[in-house]
Amino acid sequence: MGNTKMKKCITKILFLLVSVLIAGTVSGCTSDKSVKAYLQALLDTSYKNDSKGFVEIKLGTAEDAQALYEQGIDTGVGVFCSRLGVSDAYIEEFRPIYMDMLGKVRYAVEDAEKQSDGSYIVTVSYEKMNVFKPALALHQENVAAMMDGWAQAAEPPAEEEMVAAVYSEFRSSMETVLAQVQYDEKASMTVRIELINNVYTPNPDDIAGLEKALFDGE
């Protein structure tokens, strides 16, 4: 796959799974403090593989939290590779990079305010991670050098080998950028926790908005 196609694919990738993040629910009466803890627990479980809050507020067991995290990673890596046109054979190679990237996101659940309809508006602060744009720039530079070398070779590699080399280089570029990843200044947004059939559930559009805000994917 060429650099132009890869660039177009990267700009369309939405990483975390909204369906996974809204899988945990809290029922019955609650409070500002418990709603804040609830959203923090879901985010920590899904991004950081940290089940402490998930278990403390009785969303489930540590095993349940691990299963939620694994589901998110499996789906996220699959989406990542699919959007890039990467074959299933490369999924496991990108898995640790994906996990490392999610583990480095920066966010904090700040305040929760109850609304007249029983829902809550929760403020989340975050720092956008600059990973894809610098990784793509580094990748394009390195692939250009690789292609120059292939063009000058007496016998250039087979197409399959070149494709594998391009993906391997992108993986390396991601690793390089993640090792010293940079962030934008702190910003904030809100996430609605809605009461649906007496069950509190994060609004999927708001979770998708937060997901997009955490990464420089656009």
Q: Which residues of the chain have pLDDT under 70?
A: 1-32, 83-85, 218
- Whole-number pLDDT of residue 163: 84
pTM above 0.85, yes or no: no
The domains of the chain are located at: 3-214
> For residues 162 and 107, what is the distance between their CA atoms, to the nearest angstrom?
39
pLDDT tens-place string over residues 84-108: 667 778 788 889 998 999 999 999 9
- Whole-number pLDDT of residue 84: 63
- Whole-number pLDDT of residue 186: 97
Tokens representing 146? 């690789």
